[in-house]
Structure formats: structure tokens, C-alpha cells
């Protein structure tokens, strides 16, 4: 085999290894914060390995939601990165993490969780099919969320109209899916 054919064969195999296939088998999960996310792990097992979700993990632990998010699900989690929590008004995270504010912390966190396994394609299709351009759904907290497509981006809106950009979509888990977002969804 010529060097060009060898290179083309290697390139073709590399592309095939990283592409989604028509039979429904997807490529490997996206990396999150440089960490590998394994489909065989549940939401918590993957989240603790993400260096950009340490604040979220600490909050989930303080809210006693670890066991729930390790459960069967399926769950869709809009997972704010550390910078999203840092962008909240000064002292907000520290206040939420206080034991006496556990119920409020649970409300904030469950406003990021939806029952079911909702892919980015589902969010996009729902938004494009709606008359107002938004796909409306509820978090397990009872709060209303909406998805909108702008250009090639998907945004998730909380009840106050605050938008959070999905920066990494479709991180599959054994008990659902995570979509990494760049802002905290704040319940009313």
C-alpha cells in the first residue's frame, strides 16, 4: 500500500471511529472539562470527575441529592459550570450551602433536573415545532423551563427569562443525560 493510501485509510478509520452511525450507535461521549464521561457511569459518578463542576457536586452533596441522582432515572440535567455559580451575586453560593438553607438549595438544584432523557435533538425539534419558537417543559422542582434555538446554539430559559447556553450537549449517562450550561437557572 502506498503512503498516501495508508494515510487515507487511517484518516477514514479515524473519522469513522468518531462519527455517529446511521444505525443509532453514537460516537464516544463528549469530554467535559477535559475529563472523560463514561456512558456506563451515572450522573453523579461522571459529575465528580468533571473539574468544571466541583461547585455543582458540592451543592448536590449539601442538598442530599446524591442518592436521587444516582437512581434509575432517567434524568436530564442542565449542569451549570463553576463559572456559572461564581457569576451569582457575592455570597449566594455560600448562603445556599448553609444547612439551614437546604430546602432552598434543593429547589435551585432540582430546577436544573427534568424527568426523562431529553436529547439536544429533542430540545431543538420541540422548539422548532412550537408556534412561539420555544420548547416548554417542567423541571422536577415544578419550575417552568424553555428551550430556544438561536443560530447553532440551544439556550435554556428559567421562569424569570434568564438564558443559559448549552455549551456541551448530550453527555450520556447510565441514568439519563447531562447538558452542560453556562449559567445557573434560578427558580422564582
CATH number of the domain enclosing 163: 2.30.180.10
Instruction: pLDDT tens for the chain, 188 residues: list them.
Output: 443 333 333 332 333 333 333 334 445 899 999 999 999 999 999 999 999 999 999 999 999 999 999 999 999 999 999 999 999 999 999 999 999 999 999 999 999 999 999 999 999 999 999 999 999 999 999 999 999 999 999 999 999 999 999 999 999 999 999 999 999 999 98
6 part of a folded domain: no
Write the CB contacts of 94 (distance below 8 Å, at least 6 apart in sequence). none
29 part of a folded domain: no
Domains contained in the chain, number: 1
49 part of a folded domain: yes
Strands (E), the chain: 75-80, 113-115, 134-138, 144-150, 153-157, 163-173, 176-181
> Omega of the bond prior to 74 within 30 degrees of 0, cis?
yes
61 part of a folded domain: yes
8 part of a folded domain: no
What distance lies between CA 50 and its chain's CA centroid? 12
188 part of a folded domain: no
Domain residues for the domain of 67 are 34-181
Length of the chain: 188
Secondary structure letter of residue 186 according to DSSP: -
137 part of a folded domain: yes
77 part of a folded domain: yes
Amino acid at each position: 500500500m502506498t503512503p498516501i493510501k495508508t494515510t487515507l485509510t487511517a484518516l477514514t478509520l479515524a473519522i469513522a471511529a468518531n462519527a455517529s452511525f446511521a444505525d443509532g450507535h453514537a460516537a464516544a461521549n463528549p469530554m467535559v472539562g477535559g475529563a472523560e464521561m463514561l456512558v456506563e457511569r451515572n450522573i453523579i459518578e461522571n459529575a465528580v470527575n468533571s473539574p468544571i463542576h466541583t461547585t455543582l457536586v458540592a451543592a448536590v452533596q449539601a442538598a442530599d441529592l446524591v442518592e436521587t441522582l444516582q437512581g434509575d432515572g432517567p434524568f436530564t440535567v442542565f449542569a451549570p459550570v463553576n463559572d456559572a455559580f461564581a457569576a451569582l451575586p457575592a455570597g449566594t453560593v455560600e448562603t445556599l450551602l448553609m444547612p439551614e438553607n437546604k430546602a432552598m438549595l434543593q429547589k435551585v438544584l432540582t430546577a436544573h433536573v427534568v424527568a426523562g432523557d431529553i436529547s439536544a435533538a429533542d430540545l431543538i425539534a420541540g422548539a422548532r415545532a412550537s408556534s412561539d419558537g420555544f420548547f416548554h417543559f417542567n423541571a422536577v422542582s415544578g419550575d417552568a423551563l424553555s428551550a430556544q434555538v438561536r443560530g447553532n446554539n440551544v439556550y435554556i430559559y428559567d421562569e424569570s427569562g434568564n438564558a443559559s447556553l448549552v455549551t456541551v450537549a448530550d453527555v450520556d449517562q447510565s441514568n439519563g443525560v447531562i447538558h452542560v450550561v453556562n449559567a445557573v437557572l434560578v427558580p422564582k
